[in-house]
Every structure is written in C-alpha cells, then in structure tokens.
Amino acid sequence: MAIRLGDVAPDFTADTTEGPISFHEWKGDSWAVLFSHPKDFTPVCTTELGYTARLAEEFAARNVKVIGLSCDTVEDHAAWSQDIEDTQGIRPNFPMIGDADRAVADLYDMIHPNASDTMTVRSVFVIGPDNTVKLTITYPASTGRNFDEVLRVIDSLQLTAAKKVATPVNWNNGDDVIIVPALSNEEAAELFPGGWDEQKPYLRVVSQP
Ligand code: BEZ
C-alpha cells in the first residue's frame, strides 16, 4: 500500500554499505531523506549519487540524514562507489541499503510494476523528527532528480513546521512567505508585529520570520 503524507515511515532492518541498521534507531530524532535509485552501474544514478554526496554539508546543516537504496547488493554498491568517485569526483558518503530481496522497496512501494518489474522508481521520502512522512516524490528511471529542490523543500518543511507560515510558488529560503489562513488578523498581529502586505484577506505576505 502506498505511503501517504502523515503516515509513520515504516521501520525496517537492512544491510547497508555502513553496516546493518534498524531504520528508526539509525534515524533517531533527525530528519531523514530515504531515496531509491533504479540500479547500480547505470548512468543517471551515478550522477545523482555523486551530486547528493556533494550536498553532505547542506544536509548536515539542516539536521538531515541521507540514505540510499536499490535492489542491488551491498557489495555492488561498494564496487559502484569507485565508479562514482572516478566520474563524479566524490563517492557516496551516506549509507546505501542493499535491498536485493526487495524487502524495503516493497515496504515503501518503490517498485511500480507498470514501469518496471525489477527496478525501483526514483522515490524520495522526507521523514520528520517524529518519523512521519513529510514529502514524497516519484520520478521515472529516465529522469534524474533535482537534489537542490529536495533541499529547498526541506527548508520549507522545516520553516512551516516551526512558524505559522506557508511558502509560495518558487519560494527559496529568505524569500517572503504567506501567513497561514487559519491565523486571524489579531493572532497574526502578535506573531508578525512588523505587519504584512494584505493582497487579499486570505493572501497576507510577510518577510520570512
Ligand atoms: C540510469 O540511471 O541511467 C538509468 C537506470 C535505469 C533505467 C534507465 C536509466
């Protein structure tokens, strides 16, 4: 069954390139990005994993742990890591789950049989400190993801979890935000004493708190 926003991210045990893990224990109270790639030793995946490794400091700054997965073995992940370093200049610096028996892929509905019977789609799950799913993204094998967008969304998720705001179209960290409609003007005045730009009663734009 598909995993939906707000669901508890299913727990599992698995072998990874950094040893066996129990997912919830490994994650602790951090945020996490669990993402699948279709297959080791494939070109688009090679670029994605190299780029994700380059973002290690960005993820750490946001208290996010990253973990990858495909239906390959840990041994294949380790051998492929050398190719990733050779071509992308950096090897994966996050654990990669060896899921040859597809246990985790099935648990997270990462195999879409009408796309491929054997390979995972490009899934991304962003999971919050409370272990619930905050974001899901699904891309096909032929289209590499934009991991800068994953960071951008995490910025929005973390901001909107902490403040009574929502982020508008194409928002980037530091841009103006929107006061959530559930907040009355009286309540908003307490939280945003500097005021806001009321373009419509439901569209109140304010500097990012
Ligand atoms: C790739 O990563 O390049 C890829 C993987 C599976 C199918 C198509 C492309």
Whether 143 is in the pocket of ligand 1, judged by its Cβ within 6 Å, is no
Q: State the pLDDT confidence band at 1, using cuts at 50, 70 and 90.
A: confident
Identity (one letter) of the amino acid at 60?
A
Residue 152 lies in a domain: no
From 99, 118, 146, the end of a domain falls on 146
Binding site membership of 45 for ligand 1 (Cβ less than 6 Å): yes
Q: Please say if the pLDDT value at position 17 is more than 80.
A: yes
**Residue 139 CA to ligand 1 centre (angstroms):** 11
128 lines ligand 1 (CB under 6 A): no
Which pLDDT band holds residue 9 (cuts at 50, 70, 90)?
Answer: very high
Residue 53: its pLDDT value, please? 98
Pocket test for ligand 1, best of 35, 42, 119 (most atoms within 8 A of CB): 42
Same structural domain for residues 188 and 112?
no
* Total number of domains constituting the chain: 2
Both 168 and 137 in one domain: the answer is no
* Residue 8 lies inside a defined structural domain of this protein: no
- Residue showing tokens 């806001």: 196
Using the predicted structure, report yes or no on whether residue 135 has a pLDDT greater than 80: yes
Residues 18 and 108 occupy one common structural domain: yes
The predicted pLDDT at position 119 comes to: 97
CA of 31 to the centre of ligand 1 (A): 28
Both 130 and 172 in one domain: the answer is: no
Q: In percent, how much of the chain has pLDDT > 70?
A: 100
83 and 115 share a domain?
yes
Please tell me whether residues 192 and 126 are part of one structural domain: no
| 20 located within any domain | yes
| pTM for the full predicted model | 0.97
Supply the mean pLDDT for the chain.
98
Query: Do 188 and 98 sit in the same domain of this protein?
Result: no
- Asked whether residue 184 is domain-assigned, the answer is yes
- Is residue 3 situated within a structural domain? no
Task: Look up the domain containing 179 and give its range.
Answer: 163-206
**141 assigned to some structural domain:** yes
Catalytic residue among 34, 45, 55, 119: 45
Stretch 97-103: mean pLDDT:
98
CATH assignment at residue 180: 3.30.1020.10
- pLDDT higher than threshold 90 for residue 10: yes
Residues 91 and 35 in one domain: yes
- Verify that 133 and 192 share a domain, yes or no: no
> For 11-15, what is the mean pLDDT?
98
Whether residues 167 and 142 fall in one domain = no
Could you tell me if residue 112 is inside a domain?
yes
What was the pLDDT predicted at 73?
98
Evaluate: CB of 44 within 6 angstroms of ligand 1. Answer: yes
pLDDT in tens, 39-85: 999 999 999 999 999 999 999 999 999 999 999 999 999 999 999 99
Q: Are 90 and 136 part of one and the same domain?
A: yes
Please name the residue whose Cα sits nearest to atom 7 of ligand 1.
Answer: 141
Residue 45 catalytic? Answer: yes
Is 142 near ligand 1, meaning CB less than 6 Å away?
A: yes
Let me know whether 20 and 105 are in one domain: yes
